[in-house]
Amino acid sequence: MSKLIIEGCPRLSGSVSANGAKNSVLPILAATLINAGENVIHNCPDLRDVDSAVNILRHLGCKVRREGKTIIVNSSNITRYDIPDNLMREMRSSVIFLGPVLARCGKSSMSFPGGCELGPRPIDLHIDAVKKLGVNVTESGGILECTAGKMTGKDIILPFPSVGATENIILLATACHGRTRIRNAAQEPEIDDLIAFVNKAGGMAARRGSEIEIIGTQTREHTEHTIMPDRIETATYLCMGAAVGGDVEVRNTYPQYVETITEALTQAGAEISVRKDIIRIKRDKPLGSIKPVRTMPYPGFPTDAQAPLMAAMLKARGSSIFLETIFENRYRHVSELMRMGADIKVAGRVAVVEGVTRLFGTKVRATDLRGGAAMCIAAMTAMGKTEIDDIHHIDRGYEKIENVINALGGRALRE
């Protein structure tokens, strides 16, 4: 198993670029099933989760090849509608294949998804939605067997703005007769990227605030699309700059999608400047505490940025409070940070970070994707060397993160 060895550094300086968004490329790769043709997807990051999605597509019969940052998917000949347990368990978002497989094949068979252990991620919202659209669902031994009857567009009101459920409904609705409206739909930018792809593929989908309307229609045989920049990757690199100090630029990003993060870092004392697709963060003075951070669906503070921001605040003066409302096990990284000397108290969904003067390098492990990023940030501010194990979690969402650290003047080695 590979591990990262990161040595603390006094200051960062340099420029890095955000890759394509993990949370956009995965549903869009799944969406290539709906148009029965060639799909050219640009700006695809080299991630474990992307590899997992490609493996699922190949299992279903698609021809897939990668050319640098571009993935070409030919979905003209689908030979299967089942996804085996070993492929479903590779990533938590694998359930996104439910809608497009049903739309294309009229039936599907899959187990429950795997991925990071962040607590329950019930897929009942997905199941309830596909039932309303005319799909018969049975469960036996952890396997979901779905068969489409006469699928007709309906109004679907989500009790919670679930990203995955919104995506699945959009993709299944492309094969339904008539109009489907999703009310209380998730508003994440990655969903708008999916809508853009669906429309390029010949679908008809549009957002009006928290409502998304889809009209079932035939899709085209050829589609080309460029994945939006990753806002969580952007947030992570900004938190690196804030934690270590120095002068860091993140290029090829969308500043408007990370405003809750830049606002928090500005409160802490970092200097943020924006021009077009570039965010610059400068930090020379010690960080101070910030107002309580409450994770919320977009446009609120993203749960995926909670761990990186927490790592940035470990040596800030004063107390910072985090309230996690999305995943109940989102603080699994806390015990590892405390091994490095962090002062964090957790009570249920609340975590209180008391700034310390020093962190110390030691052996830790990446507990999950974003927790692993927090380990990297903390290691860059610690005295001595830190060994991070279980970095396969980090590789799910960051493309060779050690290269980014080194490009900014840090010291990181993969062994």
The residues assigned a catalytic role are: 116
Structure tokens at 30: 């799944």
d(CA 127, CA 400) in angstroms, rounded, equals: 36
Report cis status (omega within 30 of 0) of the bond before 122. Answer: no
The radius of gyration computed from the CA coordinates of the chain, to the nearest angstrom, equals 21
Phi and psi at residue 248, in whole multiples of 5°?
A: -125, 140
Helices (H), ranges, 133-162: none
- Please say whether the beta carbons of 97 and 31 come within 8 A: no
Return the amino acid letter for 267. Answer: Q
Q: Which of 63, 54, 62 is nearest to 87 (CA)?
A: 54
d(CA 248, CA 290) in angstroms, rounded, equals: 21
Structure tokens at 132: 């309303």
Q: In sequence order, which residues have a C-beta less than 8 Å from that of residue 11 and are 6 or more positions away?
A: 244, 245, 246, 409
d(CA 294, CA 297) in angstroms, rounded, equals: 10
Structure tokens at 318: 């004063």
d(CA 232, CA 236) in angstroms, rounded, equals: 6
Eight-class DSSP state of 227 = P
